[in-house]
Amino acid sequence: MKHVSFFALLLLVSVLTLNAQQTVICISTEETDLIFKTAPSGRLYQSYFGKRLMHETDIQSLPYYIARPASDDSVVPRGWEVYPGSGAEDFFEPAFAVRHNDGNLTSILYYRSHQVNEIEPGVVQTVIRLADDSYPLEVTLYYVSFVRENVIKSWTEIRHHEKKPVVLSQYASSMLYFESAAYFLREYSGDWAREAQRSDQELKFGKKIIDTKLGSRAAMHAYPFFQLGLGQEVEEDRGRVLAGTIGWTGNFRFTFEVDNVGNLRVISGINPYASDYELQPAEVFRTPEFIYTLSEEGVGKASRDLHRWAVNHQLKDGKGDRLTLLNNWEATGCDFDEAMLAGLMREAKELGVDMFLLDDGWFGNKYPRVDDHAGLGDWEAMRSKLPNGIPGLIASAKEAGVKFGIWIEPEMVNPGSELFEKHPEWAITLPNRDTYYYRNQLVLDLSNPQVQDHVFGVVDRLLTENPEISYFKWDCNSPITNVYSPYLKEKQNHLYIHHIRGIYNVLQRVESKYPHVAMMMCSGGGARCDYEGLKYYSEFWPSDNTDPVDRLYIQWNFSQFFPIKSMAAHVTSWNPSASIKFRTDVAMMCKFGFDISLKEMTPDE
């Protein structure tokens, strides 16, 4: 046995004595307990995350610390710190990193207090206040447990009272730890028209990161959700699985790190890439929500729990009906006129759907939107195609007996547009380099409050002038390129975060003024698919790929996280060799619609 010094013994005794005042925090659903305990030092540790414990004594007997390797002979046991900062004895990825006014890069957070409130029946919020003891800096951890649905969401608020701004370089929403014999990660990746393809791998020592840097949407190559098999591969109806997703419509990052003793930490949040955040004294930095469920019966159970939770608590109009529709994008592209649209509206009625949805190509006069090269930004009906404007279309829809919805992409601008002529400084673009155009367009700078007003104004004006518009398909076809905000100037490190906050500001205004107008979230196919967006949109468009065979996989994979009523699916001619019956069956699994002209079908069909 190793020699234990007198001072070490003294410390051990004080550890035990202080243990009497230990704080225990249980974040529970009907099936799961996440338990935190304070150490004698006053720091807070994850003591347990697993099946609901049956007895108080089970909770009391849990240690706050974890077994440590022989190489670590410190007397104070090492733990899984709930929100570890940098510069202490944890040698792996922190949840949080800050540069204080004096240049110090360390931060150690101590438990101060916590509160538990039932915010509505079956929804319990736990708020835990931590503070650094050497700097006036506070971190508040929020956990909301949806008791019946077995879902927890958590986020963090950071604030300080130093004299000048501090710089945050890591600011996770959540940190969770696991101890298992093996870890198997199921992630989702893809691209346009092959969204959310799943792949599995075993996690071994070191880090695996899933992240994106697309700026204006969470997804395209990587998706903001994952499943983690604990002790066994991910299976449909057996085994322990964590299913998690981040509610953030921009750059996200999941870090999975297996450490020297085979424990896994899972850190979720905004991707801090190019986003060191200068936090002003008294300003509150709020991270996005990380939403997760722990299932003991495979991913099938996890997905059903997420569906129930989404419908009951998160998804816009979760319990409401949806409008079935006929969209014209696949049938016409930008090539249509008033008479053709009126014909499609009559077809919509014949098909028995609720609404006709007019897609891209209806706007722009000086720079007409004849294809995707011009017009974005100029949200005036194109006189040559639509001499009677939107009111004329609404009149035709009424005559046909269907509602009317319309496509917009208000966060974007084509350089060929009156908007760009007037406000080139509203576009995110570099003043001193060649411009790279993704789909011939630029992203408007939503970090700029004037641009937020403009984007809200697009929706507001359309609805004020045409209160009969029932629905928007809100698209976002470009990631942020030429990453420079003319508005933020020397604060470019705030662009990715302020841009997304700017989008939420617009969406909140739309929601509060027009709560009954339904909207579809679309992003060049399925690149926007996150639960913060779905607070404002009742559904999203999973993919432009509507070949029913491919769509089955895409829909199945998204359905691991999202309820089917939140996913739009249309019958189209992507694969005309598939029967109309099969195409319809696949589309009917989700929120149903058509994007086809009756002329493409036989009378029998």
Cβ closer to ligand DGJ: 31 or 544? Answer: 544
Q: C-beta of 332: minimal distance to ligand DGJ in Å?
A: 11
Regarding 411 and contact with ligand DGJ (CB under 6 A), the answer is no
Q: With beta carbons less than 8 A apart as the criterion, state whether 312 and 530 touch.
A: no
Cβ closer to ligand DGJ: 139 or 406? Answer: 406
User: Where in 347-386 is the site for ligand DGJ (CB under 6 A)?
Assistant: 359-360
CA angle at 474 for the pair 361 and 192, rounded to the nearest 5°: 85
Q: C-beta of 534: minimal distance to ligand DGJ in Å?
A: 17
Query: Interface mask (CB under 6 A) for ligand DGJ, residues 320-349, using x and -?
Result: ---------x--------------------
β-pairing, 151-160 with 137-146?
antiparallel
How far apart are alpha carbons 323 and 520 in whole angstroms? 11
The two three-digit tokens of residue 68, written as one number = 């440590």
Query: Which sign, positive or negative, has the C-alpha torsion 482, 485, 491, 497?
Result: negative
Which run of H or of E encompasses 548?
Answer: helix 548-558
Q: With beta carbons less than 8 A apart as the criterion, state whether 28 and 145 touch.
A: yes
Q: With beta carbons less than 8 A apart as the criterion, state whether 257 and 207 touch.
A: yes
How far apart are alpha carbons 197 and 307 in whole angstroms? 20
Q: C-beta of 360: minimal distance to ligand DGJ in Å?
A: 4
Regarding 477 and contact with ligand DGJ (CB under 6 A), the answer is yes
Q: With beta carbons less than 8 A apart as the criterion, state whether 163 and 294 touch.
A: no
Regarding 33 and contact with ligand DGJ (CB under 6 A), the answer is no
- The residue count for binding ligand DGJ (CB under 6 A) is 11
Residue appearing with tokens 């949040």? 269
Q: C-beta of 338: minimal distance to ligand DGJ in Å?
A: 19
How far apart are alpha carbons 171 and 99 in whole angstroms? 12
How far apart are alpha carbons 452 and 79 in whole angstroms? 45
Q: C-beta of 214: minimal distance to ligand DGJ in Å?
A: 15
Regarding 522 and contact with ligand DGJ (CB under 6 A), the answer is yes
Cβ closer to ligand DGJ: 447 or 555? Answer: 555
Q: C-beta of 324: minimal distance to ligand DGJ in Å?
A: 17
Nearest Cα residue to 77 out of 35, 154, 159, 19? 19
595-603 contacts at long range (C-beta below 8 A, 24 or more positions apart): 595/326, 595/327, 595/328, 595/329, 595/330, 595/331, 595/546, 595/570, 595/571, 596/330, 596/331, 596/570, 596/571, 596/572, 597/331, 597/332, 597/344, 597/347, 598/347, 598/350, 598/351, 600/331, 600/573, 600/576
Q: C-beta of 295: minimal distance to ligand DGJ in Å?
A: 32
Q: With beta carbons less than 8 A apart as the criterion, state whether 165 and 281 touch.
A: yes
Q: C-beta of 244: minimal distance to ligand DGJ in Å?
A: 26
Question: What is residue 116's DSSP assignment?
Answer: E
How far apart are alpha carbons 461 and 453 in whole angstroms? 11
Percentages of the chain per state (helix, strand, coil), in multiples of 5: 25, 35, 45
Regarding 93 and contact with ligand DGJ (CB under 6 A), the answer is no
Which run of H or of E encompasses 340?
Answer: helix 338-351
Q: C-beta of 530: minimal distance to ligand DGJ in Å?
A: 16
Query: Looking at beta carbons, which residue is closest to ligand DGJ?
Result: 360
Cβ closer to ligand DGJ: 240 or 369? Answer: 369
- The window from 134-142, 180-188, 247-255, 520-528 that contacts ligand DGJ (CB under 6 A) reads 520-528
Regarding 524 and contact with ligand DGJ (CB under 6 A), the answer is yes
Cβ closer to ligand DGJ: 336 or 541? Answer: 541
Q: C-beta of 217: minimal distance to ligand DGJ in Å?
A: 12
Cβ closer to ligand DGJ: 299 or 355? Answer: 355
Regarding 541 and contact with ligand DGJ (CB under 6 A), the answer is yes
User: Where in 191-230 is the site for ligand DGJ (CB under 6 A)?
Assistant: none
User: Where in 387-406 is the site for ligand DGJ (CB under 6 A)?
Assistant: none
Q: C-beta of 522: minimal distance to ligand DGJ in Å?
A: 5
Q: C-beta of 529: minimal distance to ligand DGJ in Å?
A: 12
Cβ closer to ligand DGJ: 528 or 565? Answer: 528
Q: With beta carbons less than 8 A apart as the criterion, state whether 66 and 80 touch.
A: yes
Q: C-beta of 333: minimal distance to ligand DGJ in Å?
A: 8
Cβ closer to ligand DGJ: 253 or 473? Answer: 473
Q: C-beta of 475: minimal distance to ligand DGJ in Å?
A: 5
Cβ closer to ligand DGJ: 93 or 359? Answer: 359
Cβ closer to ligand DGJ: 90 or 475? Answer: 475
Q: With beta carbons less than 8 A apart as the criterion, state whether 413 and 441 touch.
A: yes
Cβ closer to ligand DGJ: 298 or 525? Answer: 525
Cβ closer to ligand DGJ: 24 or 193? Answer: 193
CA 22 to chain CA mean position, Å: 36
Cβ closer to ligand DGJ: 94 or 405? Answer: 405
- The window from 153-161, 242-250, 519-527, 578-586 that contacts ligand DGJ (CB under 6 A) reads 519-527
405: β partners: 357, 471
Cβ closer to ligand DGJ: 41 or 440? Answer: 440
The two three-digit tokens of residue 581, written as one number = 């019956």
Which run of H or of E encompasses 338?
Answer: helix 338-351
> What residues make contact with ligand DGJ under the rule CB under 6 A?
329, 359-360, 407, 475, 477, 522, 524-525, 541, 544
